[in-house]
Amino acid sequence: MSIVTIEKAIEEIKKGKMVIVVDDEDRENEGDFIMAAEKVTPEDINFMSKFGRGLICMPCISSRLNELQIPDMVTENTSKHGTAFTVSVGAKHKISTGISAFDRAATILTIIDPETKAEDISMPGHVFPLRANDGGVLKRAGHTEAAIDLARLTGLFPAGVLCEIMNDDGTMARLNQLEKIAKEFNMPIVTVESIIEYRRKKERY
């Protein structure tokens, strides 16, 4: 597949599948595998690790991270694009070392489980939550917010799982390479800009 409509991307996310989300050329100019956190499986984590090769993170709404008392990694964020990493976490009672695909999937599902309390989370761990801007892509045009908005548009819990996509040689995959990856895995590509346009149009009425 290549670049598709938001409606198609939402359909895939709702099924528990991944999409490739590409941001602006003037920003990171990168593509991430993105899926809804609620649908994650160990197989998904393994796929991202094997074929994405980047850092697997969990975008999440700020209110949920606050409920679980997960603090930001730094008090003053000086990163180029302001990616809001929190302290890394693990599911205290449901994992072994925390790094396996099974353990990371379990931790992600634990975070979104409404029964989970702050005392059920260990810090540091092997899952990296990202605190999303409350306004989504309308306030910050990043992969973090794109993941949240895609999950929210499907009616799933507003949290996602993402991984930056790198080439075999360790360089970042750009659009022409991402299109080949999308075709190989029959995976749609969607742009952050199209999510912004979709939300503006949808929320105008």
Domains observed in the chain: 6-202 (3.90.870.10)
Mean pLDDT of 128-151: 97
Residues 106, 140: Cα–Cα separation, whole Å:
28
DSSP string, 50-101: IIIEEEEEEEEEHHHHHHTT--BS-SS--STT---BB--EEETTT-SSS-SH
pTM score over 0.85: yes
**Structure confidence by residue, pLDDT tens digits, 69-118:** 999 999 999 998 899 999 999 999 999 999 999 999 999 999 999 999 99
Report how far apart, in Å, the C-alpha atoms of 169 and of each of 23, 127, 145, 148, 166 are. Answer: 21, 25, 28, 30, 8
Using DSSP's 3-state secondary structure scheme, residue 28 falls into coil
For 18-42, how does the pLDDT look when each residue is reduced to its tens digit (9 = 90+)? 999 998 776 667 999 999 999 999 9
